[in-house]
Each structure stands twice: as structure tokens, then as C-alpha cells.
């Protein structure tokens, strides 16, 4: 039998707890506002030694590494939309995560992207290269890290001999696909050319399943195609000027002269336009973007 006291207690709980929970949520919002107003600028990472953390993790270093990696992603994610953001703690977080678990491949691969991105990252190619090299040393069977190193040397550091060397090294892995060896040879022969960049981004697009990387690769490929088209069209403009004694006024003049089979369009389907400087440009309405070469890596600190 349910006693009267129990009934009264349950009734009180049912009637008051929802209101009190709403009050708690409102209070929490107020506390957050107060705390944010007095928060110290930036964050601190008190334990920066992965080796020390490994010792005190009591064997749970894998779990701790996952936590540090998650923190690194959150740290990067919170800053990626802020131009000129400070990424000072990114390297220590990645350093600790990969020391705690040297086989955490995702931390090397994505960590290198976070570190090396010139516009939406720390722009520290030197640290990205160090991170990936450390990953290769700890995971010699993981050929993808070798290609990541090659990509870093090629796209970010623009050190083509080292990029070729990294791809060649990765190609020695029995599980590595054949295209890596061809890429190594191509970079050694024609490092820095638009066509070589196109091959690298195409392979990256084919080999990754990550939608963000795929989207970025497509953007890069569109940019490279536009740059190649512009370069070829500029050559035709020069030939036109030589033949007719003046520059064409518009692209259609070259079509009318039989130098082009039709109006050339960019990867987004917009026709190229001829500028007053006599150079070919993207249509202002086009979604294609010419991505400038990355800034040179900052000197090691």
C-alpha cells in the first residue's frame, strides 16, 4: 500500500523538480557569462610531457591519447574560422597524443594538415613534417604517412627533391600502390609544374574517403585546371597579336579567327574573360577560385 507520506513526497518531487531544473539551466547560463568575462586569455596545457603522462597514466595511455587527440581537434576546430588565430597549443597537444599512443595514425595525418595549413591552420610546415616523420618511424608499415610527407614537402615546403625522396620511400612499402613510384619519378623530373600538382591532387582525391579532403582536392583541381587554361589562353593571345598586329578585344575574337573551337569555359562552366591587361581571367561570376601558392613555412622556433 502506498503511504500518504510517500504520495506527498512524490507529488512534491514531480511538481518542483522540473521548475528547479529550468532554474539550474538559467543559472548555468548566468555562470557561463560571468566565467567568460573573467576567463584568462588563452588556454594552458599544464602537462606537456607525453613521456611523463605515459608513466602516470597507469597503463591507460591509449585512452589518454584519445582524449588528447580529441582536445587537439576541438582546439583546432574552435580556431579554424578565426583569421590570425593563435595555434600555440596545437603542437604540444599533438605531441602528447602521439607520444601516449605512437600508433594513432589519424593524429599524424590530420594533425599534419592542421599544423601545415597556411590560411586555416598553424602554418607550421616544419612541425607538420616532424610529426609525420615521427609517425613513419613508429609505423613503418603505414605507407600513407609516406605520401603525406611527400605532399607536405611538395605543396607546403616546395622542396621537390625531398618530396620525390619521400614518395620513393613510401613506394618501397609492399602494400603501396604503383602510382606512388610514378609520382616520385615525375616530381624528380618536373617538380613544381601545374601538371604534377594536378596528378598529386587527383591521386589524393581517388585515395581518400574523407569528404573534407575530397572537397578540398576538388577545389584545388579546379584551381589548377583554371591556371592551366589561363596559361594556354594567354599563349594564344600572344600568337593572335603576332598574327593580327593587335591584341584580341575579347575571347570570341580568337574563336572567330579559328584559333579556338568554341568559347572556353572554366571547371564551373563559366566562360573565361579577357582583361584590359591582355590576360585571361576567370569570369567574376565563377565559383572557381585561383588558390595562391602557400606562404613559405615559418622558421623553426
Partner 1 sequence: MSAISGVVAINTFREAVRDRVLYNLVFFALLMIGAAILVGQISIGIDRLVIINLGLSAISVFGLVMAVFIGAGLVYKEMEKRTLYAILSKPVRRSQFLVGKYAGLLLTLTVNTGFMTLGLGAALFFVGRPFVRSDLSILIAVYFILLELALVTAITLFFSCFTTPMLSTLYTLGIYITGVFASDIHDIGDLTRSPGVKFIARVIYYLVPNFHNFNAIDFASHGDRIPFTLVAQDTIYAAVYVSIVLIAASAVFSGRNLK
Positions that interact with partner 1 (CB under 8 A): 2-3, 5-6, 8-10, 12-13, 16-17, 20-21, 23-25, 27-31, 34-35, 38, 40, 44, 73-74, 77-78
Q: Which is nearer to partner 1, 13 or 296 (CB)?
A: 13
Q: Which is nearer to partner 1, 7 or 55 (CB)?
A: 7
**Nearest-approach distance from CB 71 to partner 1, in angstroms:** 8
Q: What nine digits make up the cell of 287? A: 565559383
- 277, HSE (Cβ side, Cα atoms, 13 Å): 4
At how many degrees (to 10) do helices 61-79 and 90-100 cross? 160
**Nearest-approach distance from CB 3 to partner 1, in angstroms:** 7
**Nearest-approach distance from CB 100 to partner 1, in angstroms:** 18
Could you tell me which of 145, 61, 152, 142 has the C-alpha nearest to residue 114? 152
Q: Which is nearer to partner 1, 21 or 52 (CB)?
A: 21
Q: Which is nearer to partner 1, 15 or 249 (CB)?
A: 15
Q: Which is nearer to partner 1, 1 or 285 (CB)?
A: 1
**Nearest-approach distance from CB 38 to partner 1, in angstroms:** 6
**Nearest-approach distance from CB 83 to partner 1, in angstroms:** 19
**Nearest-approach distance from CB 25 to partner 1, in angstroms:** 4
Amino acid at each position: 500500500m502506498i503511504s500518504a507520506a510517500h504520495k506527498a513526497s512524490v507529488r512534491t518531487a514531480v511538481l518542483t523538480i522540473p521548475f528547479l531544473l529550468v532554474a539550474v539551466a538559467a543559472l548555468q547560463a548566468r555562470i557561463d557569462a560571468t566565467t567568460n568575462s573573467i576567463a584568462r586569455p588563452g588556454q594552458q596545457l599544464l602537462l606537456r610531457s607525453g613521456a611523463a603522462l605515459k608513466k602516470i597514466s597507469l597503463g591507460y595511455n591509449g585512452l589518454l591519447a584519445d582524449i588528447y587527440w580529441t582536445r587537439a581537434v576541438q582546439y583546432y576546430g574552435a580556431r579554424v574560422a578565426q583569421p590570425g588565430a593563435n595555434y600555440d597549443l596545437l603542437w604540444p597537444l599533438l605531441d602528447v597524443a602521439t607520444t601516449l599512443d605512437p600508433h594513432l595514425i589519424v593524429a599524424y595525418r590530420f594533425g599534419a594538415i592542421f599544423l601545415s595549413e597556411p590560411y586555416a591552420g598553424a602554418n607550421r610546415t616544419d612541425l607538420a613534417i616532424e610529426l609525420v616523420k615521427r609517425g613513419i618511424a613508429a609505423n613503418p608499415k603505414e605507407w600513407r604517412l609516406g605520401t603525406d610527407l611527400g605532399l607536405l614537402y611538395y605543396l607546403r615546403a616546395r622542396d621537390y627533391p625531398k618530396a620525390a625522396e619521400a614518395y620513393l620511400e613510401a613506394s618501397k612499402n609492399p602494400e603501396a600502390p604503383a602510382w606512388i613510384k610514378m609520382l616520385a619519378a615525375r616530381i624528380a623530373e618536373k617538380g613544381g609544374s601545374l601538371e604534377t600538382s594536378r596528378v598529386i591532387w587527383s591521386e589524393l582525391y581517388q585515395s581518400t574517403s574523407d569528404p573534407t579532403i575530397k572537397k578540398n582536392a576538388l577545389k584545388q583541381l579546379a584551381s589548377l585546371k583554371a591556371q592551366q587554361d589561363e596559361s594556354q589562353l594567354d599563349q594564344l593571345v600572344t600568337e593572335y597579336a603576332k598574327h593580327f598586329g593587335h591584341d584580341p578585344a575579347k575571347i570570341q575574337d580568337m574563336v572567330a579567327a579559328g584559333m579556338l573551337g568554341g568559347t572556353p569555359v572554366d571547371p564551373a562552366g563559366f566562360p573565361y574573360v579577357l582583361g584590359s591587361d591582355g590576360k585571361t581571367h576567370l569570369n567574376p561570376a565563377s565559383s572557381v577560385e585561383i588558390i595562391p601558392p602557400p606562404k613559405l613555412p615559418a622558421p623553426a622556433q
